[in-house]
Structure 1
Amino acid sequence: MPLNIIFMGTPDFSVPVLDGIASAGHRIVAVYSQPPRPAGRGMAEVKSPVQRRAEELGLDVRTPVNFKNDADREAFAALKADVAVVVAYGLLLPKAVLDATRLGCFNVHASKLPRWRGAAPIQRAIMAGDTVTAVNIMRMEQGLDTGPVCLGRDVAIRPDMTAGELHDELSQLGAKLMVEALVKIESGDIACVPQPNDGTTYAAKIAKGETRIDFSRPAGEVINHIRGLSPYPGAWFEIVIGGKAERIRVLAAAETNGNAESGTLLDDQLTIACGPGAIRVERLQRAGKQPMAAVDFLRGTRLPAGTRLGR
């Protein structure tokens, strides 16, 4: 029989999982998402991608700020769901919520647990130079991503792969694995294995202060930093153009040869010295502009060799 499911998610990453569950024929009794947030120049309230998709599917959507209110916890329990599926919801769930469904809460996590528990596993894996990650289906506990792993699939991280590309691949795989896990949960054939104690790392949320590129780092680390923050929030540097400092987001770059003081342009093609090595910018975005190829940017902007980037 189809399961009665509460779905909990917020960003784009969660949407394919919601679609997969709906297509599999399960009954989604409610969708929980983070409340609409002010965004854009007009600061109008914007619904999350999950809320928008759930409303398109005609599902009941609920957006509590948290579950500290007794009424919100009671409303959750009153749904009498078999299972809760949680995908990047954005809140740590209290025990009262974790215990409120018949079969438990199951999470889609985009890392090879216990490596990269926490908020930004995709970005952190690439920034650290990892060559393999995974999607894990985990039975949730009160700790931060500490629950036993019920299903998983490894994914190779290509040397040129950006966080955006990995995000999309893991999201689609997560949807397939969760649908597979629900079949096992429904039949009582789900086996969840405790995570090992060794190898735990934490994927803290990306802070604004770490998005600026530090060209004193080796070129390979700079490339990983750029890949891990592309396309959002974007790694960046400052350079003076027309007498004015301008922030340039780097969306793609390649490692190359070069030797000079870090942060110096080695030629007029946006080759930048690192410490050691160099990178060549391939794709970028100026403030308030659309992304563009570096060659198109350089057609209208002269940046000669020896130019120093802002600090």
Structure 2
Amino acid sequence: MRLIFAGTPEIAVPTLAALEGAGHEIVAVLTQPDARGKRGRTLHPSPVKAYALERGLDVWTPEKASAPEVVARIEELEVDAAAVVAYGQILRPALLAAVRLAWVNLHFSVLPAWRGAAPVQRAIMGGDDVTGASTFVIEKGLDTGPVIGTLTERIRATDTAGDLLERLATLGAPLMVQSLEALDSGIARPAAQGEEDVSYAAKLTREDAYVRWDLAAHVVDRRIRGCTPAPGAWTTLPDGSVAKLGPVSPRLQRSGTAPGQVRFEEGEVLIGTGTDPVALGWIAPAGKKPMDAAAWWRGARLGESAQLGEA
């Protein structure tokens, strides 16, 4: 098949590699324009662009993929279909009509659950036991198109959003290959999504990542894992400064502590929640790299009444 690939972050690379490995011709790769790093000085290519250039593929970085000139270029290529993984742009009807078969998206949930920008993060934060990936034909609505194929994957007790996304990206790559091939051969029968089990996965904000220590330990645990690595769970320290936090582990057999209160016990930094305390794995005070929580505690010398977040 002659294909276009559209994707931007690292989680899109396995699918591009799988399509190439299956012998399909990638005639163009669409990805977001180069972005500035954290310090804002140097432009950096997306992971997909870097990979595609290494493979000698033709890379396009349009500001608007649905611009008339981009649509015209795609029509001239006479491609069979387009594969999309976390591209980051809305695709308009004229662009969708520019390929023979369809634009097919790999979405990291079992649709219609968790339509939207942050399906893996929201699944973890929502306490789901199982998630997965779906391929579907892109249409005008947000993740509403008919589904070609799905897979499921268990959410592990220690999974961060980064862990789970990496796993689903690897598992989902062959699903995309199979879905496109089935669509091309006429075997695929895309099925309309039901509307009775729809849930929405809004993009995470900085406010979503703020740790509320008054919530139950298992909720605190899920919220932090769902926000790791991005946008990064955070709290305030006793001096009012901000610190990012890594995943925590509920300690069901330890004595309770007031929500947000910190203590050091049996080699662990324990923080009180609305129920049981949680053990902190790592912390990154403002301007510093992540450090082991016990090392931070010894250096901070906060005392037994130290309070994180709002008292």
Q: Kindly indicate whether the alpha-carbon contact (under 8 Å) linking 1:252 and 1:284 is maintained by their aligned counterparts in 2.
A: no
Alignment partner of 1:262 is 2:279: no
2:242 counterpart residue number: 247
State how far apart, in whole Å, the 1-side matches of 2:229 and 2:303 are: 27
State how far apart, in whole Å, the 2-side matches of 1:4 and 1:100 are: 13
The TM-score normalised by the length of structure 1 is 0.93
Deviation, structure 1 residue 266: 4.1
2:58 counterpart residue number: 60
Q: Kindly indicate whether the alpha-carbon contact (under 8 Å) linking 2:261 and 2:306 is maintained by their aligned counterparts in 1.
A: yes
Secondary structure in structure 2 of the residue aligned to 1:209: coil
2:232 counterpart residue number: 234
Deviation, structure 1 residue 84: 0.4
1:140 counterpart residue number: 138
1:291 counterpart residue number: 290
1:19 counterpart residue number: 17
Q: Kindly indicate whether the alpha-carbon contact (under 8 Å) linking 2:6 and 2:82 is maintained by their aligned counterparts in 1.
A: yes
Aligned pair count reads: 306
Deviation, structure 1 residue 68: 4.9
State how far apart, in whole Å, the 2-side matches of 1:119 and 1:40 are: 22
2:162 counterpart residue number: 164
Alignment partner of 1:174 is 2:169: no
Residue type matched to 1:103 in 2? Answer: L
Deviation, structure 1 residue 211: 1.3
2:281 counterpart residue number: 282
- Within 5 Å, give how 1:295-306 maps onto structure 2: 295-306=294-305
Gaps of 5+ in 2: none
Residue type matched to 1:226 in 2? Answer: I
Gaps of 5+ in 1: none
Secondary structure in structure 2 of the residue aligned to 1:210: coil
State how far apart, in whole Å, the 2-side matches of 1:289 and 1:261 are: 27
Q: Kindly indicate whether the alpha-carbon contact (under 8 Å) linking 1:117 and 1:144 is maintained by their aligned counterparts in 2.
A: yes
Deviation, structure 1 residue 106: 0.6
State how far apart, in whole Å, the 2-side matches of 1:71 and 1:6 are: 16
The TM-score normalised by the length of structure 2 is 0.93
Structure 1 residues 302 and 120: alpha-carbon distance in aligned structure 2, compared to 1, 3 A threshold: same
State how far apart, in whole Å, the 1-side matches of 2:282 and 2:153 are: 25
Residue type matched to 1:247 in 2? Answer: V
Deviation, structure 1 residue 141: 1.1
Q: Kindly indicate whether the alpha-carbon contact (under 8 Å) linking 1:267 and 1:304 is maintained by their aligned counterparts in 2.
A: no
Deviates more, 1:180-189 or 1:199-208: 180-189
* Percent of residue pairs identical: 39
Deviates more, 1:176-185 or 1:129-138: 176-185
Deviation per CA, 1:196-244: give whole Å up to 9, x if none.
111111111111122110111111110000110112221011213xxx5
State how far apart, in whole Å, the 2-side matches of 1:14 and 1:287 are: 31
Deviation, structure 1 residue 42: 4.2
Deviation, structure 1 residue 175: 0.7
Secondary structure in structure 1 of the residue aligned to 2:305: coil
Deviation, structure 1 residue 64: 1.1
State how far apart, in whole Å, the 1-side matches of 2:309 and 2:247 are: 20
**RMSD, aligned CA:** 1.6
Deviation, structure 1 residue 115: 0.8
Q: Kindly indicate whether the alpha-carbon contact (under 8 Å) linking 2:138 and 2:145 is maintained by their aligned counterparts in 1.
A: yes
1:103 counterpart residue number: 101
Structure 1 residues 33 and 189: alpha-carbon distance in aligned structure 2, compared to 1, 3 A threshold: same
State how far apart, in whole Å, the 2-side matches of 1:52 and 1:67 are: 19
